[in-house]
Structure 1
């Protein structure tokens, strides 16, 4: 986040969001059920769609 936002904004954002619990970090099995495929991470999505933002 610090790469794109000033330190005070990052600190305030993380202060509001807090630290995710293990349950909040878990990917729900409903994702695969709804998508009909295994979930992919954001980095994969960004790499596949980068051309749309150039």
Structure 2
């Protein structure tokens, strides 16, 4: 696991999310549906913060 500590933050986060889903026995299809919602939310936040910086 020492390799993970030196990995980029987004890789560490991905591993943490995978472990969370697996430990909670989340069905892959449900996880993908949830991740779609999370992605949309984060994209909206990025667009909002970009507009705030530009505006």
With structure 1 as the length reference, what TM-score do the two structures score?
0.29
More helix by share: 2
With structure 2 as the length reference, what TM-score do the two structures score?
0.28
